Every structure is written in C-alpha cells, then in structure tokens.
Amino acid sequence: MSLRERLASGSFAVTAEISPPRGASIGQVTETAGLLRDWVDAVNVTDNQGAHVRLASWSGSLAVLAAGVEPVMQMTCRDRNRIALQSDLLGASALGIRNILVMTGDHPKFGDHPGARPVFDLDSVQLLWTLRTMRDQGVLLSGRRLGPAPECFLGAVENPFAPPVGFRAERLGKKVAAGAQFVQTQFVFDVPAFGRWMAQVRDLGLHERCAILAGVGAVRSRRALDFMRDKVPGVVLPDDVYRRLRAVPEDRTAAEGAGLAAETVQQVAGIPGVAGVHLLVAGNEQAVPGILDAAGIRAGGPGVRTSRGSEAPGGC
C-alpha cells in the first residue's frame, strides 16, 4: 500500500526520516531503509539538512526505492532556483519517486557553508503551487506545456509552535490551497500546544483536504537534548520534558527518550484529525521498531500493521 493509499484508506500512517551520508556511498541509506521497511509506509530523504552538504536527496530516494521502501524526496527552496526545482520534479517522477516534500529550508548561515548564496527563488507555497500546476495542468511556471505531466503526491511541513502561533493553521491553509496533500509537522514535544493547533486546523477543515502527520522525535543523549533546545531553529522543548529527560542517569537518556516518543505517538494518535506520525529519527533509525512497538503499532509490512484509534482523514 502506498503512502497515498494508506492515507486515503484512513488507517494510521507512519513515516520516518533518514539523512544521507556525507560521502559518495549509498550503502548506509540502503541498510537503513531495510531496517525500516516493515515498520513505515514511507521514508523521507532529507535535502542537505540543516544546510550541511550530504548526498543528494534524489540519489538517496532512488536507493530507498531500490530497497523496496517508498521514498519521500525532500526538496528545499534554499539551493535551487525555479528552473532546477521543476527539472528535479520531472527527473524524480520519471524514475518512480512519487512523494515530494516541499519546504523552505534552513538558512545557509546554520550550515557548513555559511558563505553560500541563499537562493530562495521560490518560497514553499510557490513551489507547491508550481509542482501542482505541472502535474494537474501540464504546464511549467513559464506557461510552457510539458508532457507527459509528472505524477506526484505533494507534502508540506509546518511548525505549529513558532510565532505567530495564531497564523500557523492559516499558513498550512495556504499550503493546502497551493497543493499540499499531506503535511509533516515539526517535533511535537508540547502535546497540548499541538492539540490547540489541531483544533484550528479542524476549524478550517484542513484535515479533510490534507493528511496531518505529527512529527515525533526520540532524544538519544543529553547532548542531543541540549542541542535541540538551544540550537535547532523552531523546536520548542517545554521545561517539564527537558527535566524529565535530564532526571534519568545519562546511560538511560536514550531509553527514556524512546519511551517519551512512544507516549507522544499514542497521545497524538488520539487527537481527532491526526492521520499518522512522522518519526524524526535521522541518525537514530534503529529506535523506530522499539518506539512503534511500545506505542502499540505492530510491524508486519505495509498494509498489515494495525492502526491506532485516530479519526480517519479525508481522501487525499
């Protein structure tokens, strides 16, 4: 069952994220995809995450596909202009990569090439809009016809926790209007705040037009905890969560982090309108089976996994 079909069927979807290596080898991506195969519906491949140079997202996506897992190719607006972005969609679609996740991208300032020219020729809304038009109308942004039109299932990201909080659901609404069919959120550590955002999403009826996947991460060390709280733009880590993960001995931080992630999966699954979870575990993929098992989501391959009691999203 493809991610699109899973979401359309209304059963609980799981995606996870892998970060390609800084080097010209694909072995690690293939291995990780194999590890996740029976547990997730699709695997995101990041696009030079955090503005750090890594093996290309399209290349990693092809490796994931070859490993028998459906890739979600991430595409940021940071490094390529509208010509390259449209060309990438055609290339991805032609080679069987169907899920495209569009995001603005972290500023180069935060990466390993801070002197790089930031492109940002299109923003994420404009890119979604462009890709949707290529698929549905068979035209480029220039107005020029293309053929055959690409096939794609379009995703977006949103951060429910960043100011202006009152605008975040409407911002998702713009992405849905532009073409987003699913959305993966920033790390959910503050479940009540996520619930308030979901209430706004439901008020706008967005969950019926776009599948909402809550981002859930597993903190695996004290260093990662501090880094996430202080250094990752847009992540909100409430004090009680921080204290809970600091309270255990350092060698138990990873276990506690995985336990917290499993609890979060269960909590967000109970929020009406949530279609699934997106596990933000890049570099810690081996934690996925444990988290899902503890959350009561069983392995067994796509289509066999049992779903938790969340309200079904609309067809996407």
Partner 1 sequence: MTTASGVPVHPRLGARLAYHVQRALRPHAGFRWLSARIEASDPARALFTGAEHQVKAGLFGCRMCGQCTLPVTGYVCPMGCPKELRNGPCGGVGADGSCEVYPERRCVWVEAYERAASQGRSADLRLLHRPVDHRRWGQSSWLSYWQGRDEGLWTPGAGDPADGQGARR
- Which spans of this chain sit near partner 1 (rule: CB under 8 A)? 77-78, 82, 103-107, 109-110, 118, 120-126, 129-130, 132-133, 137, 139-145, 157-159, 162-164, 166-167, 170-171, 173-174, 177-179, 186, 233-234, 236
Torsional sign, CA 230, 214, 207, 316: positive
- Closest separation in Å from C-beta 255 to partner 1: 28
Measured in residues, the chain has a length of 316
| Residue carrying the six token digits 């982090």 | 257
Which ranges of the chain does DSSP label H, i.e. alpha helix?
A: 3-9, 27-36, 57-66, 82-94, 124-137, 168-178, 191-203, 222-230, 239-247, 253-269, 288-294
**Closer to partner 1 at the Cβ: 162 or 191?**
162
Instruction: Tell me, rounded to whole angstroms, the distance of Cα 121 from its chain centroid.
Output: 22
Instruction: Kindly list the distances between the CA atom of residue 121 and the CA atoms of 45, 79, 124, 162, in Å, as whole numbers in the listed order.
Output: 22, 9, 10, 23
**Closer to partner 1 at the Cβ: 21 or 238?**
238
- Closest separation in Å from C-beta 168 to partner 1: 9
**Closer to partner 1 at the Cβ: 13 or 180?**
180
**Closer to partner 1 at the Cβ: 21 or 118?**
118
**Closer to partner 1 at the Cβ: 30 or 126?**
126
Give the separation between CA 48 and CA 297, rounded to whole angstroms.
30
**Closer to partner 1 at the Cβ: 44 or 133?**
133
**Closer to partner 1 at the Cβ: 37 or 174?**
174
- Closest separation in Å from C-beta 275 to partner 1: 20
167, 196 Cβ separation under 8 angstroms: no
- Closest separation in Å from C-beta 48 to partner 1: 15
- Closest separation in Å from C-beta 212 to partner 1: 15
Neighbours of 84 (CB within 10 A): 11
- Closest separation in Å from C-beta 231 to partner 1: 11
- Closest separation in Å from C-beta 281 to partner 1: 19
Burial class (CB in 10 A: 0-12, 13-18, 19+), 305: buried
Single-letter amino acid code for the residue at 237: L
**Closer to partner 1 at the Cβ: 178 or 260?**
178
The number of CA neighbours under 13 Å toward the Cβ of 118 is 14
- Closest separation in Å from C-beta 52 to partner 1: 15
Contacting residues for 133 by C-beta, under 8 A, at least 6 apart:
139, 141, 179
